[in-house]
Amino acid sequence: MDFVLLLSSNGLEPSPKEMQVVMQEYLQWSNHLKKLGKYLEGCPFEKRYININDSCSIYSIEDFEEGSNFITGFIKLKCKDYQEAFSIASKCPLLFCNFINIHPVLDAQNIT
C-alpha cells in the first residue's frame, strides 16, 4: 500500500548549519529506505502557492509568511500498513522542523 507523508512547517526556522545537518540525515534516511524498496519519491515545495476557485481561474498567488504553518513537501512510501508508515515517518529527520501527516493513497481503480 502506498502512503503519502505531507510535511508542514512547525514554525521552527532552523539555522543554515542545523538545516545542513538535517538534510544530510534525511539523505541517509531516504537512501536507506530506497534500498529497502520503501521510498518511492519525495520533494520539497516552494513557499509560493496558487489558490484557484471552482471555475478554475486563479484566485490568488501568495507567499507563506516566515514562521507560519504551511505544507513544505511530501514523501511517498510503500508500506504494508499504517503501523509501518508510522514507524518510518517517526524516524524521519525532517520532523525537526515539520509536522508529518500520514495519508494512505487510494487505488483509483477501486474508487466507486
Residue pLDDT, tens place only, 31-75: 999 999 999 999 988 877 776 666 665 555 555 565 556 788 999
Q: Where are the alpha helices (DSSP H) in 16-97?
A: 16-35, 82-89
Matching CATH number, 2-106, of 3.90.45.10, 1.20.59.10, 3.40.50.1100, 3.30.70.1060:
3.30.70.1060
pLDDT at 87: 97
Strands (E), the chain: 2-9, 39-44, 48-52, 58-63, 71-78, 98-104
Side-chain-side CA neighbours of residue 11 (13 Å): 1
Indicate the domain borders of the chain: 2-106
CB 92 within 8 A of CB 66: no
Q: What is the pLDDT of residue 58?
A: 55
**Cα gap 64→49, rounded to integer Å:** 8
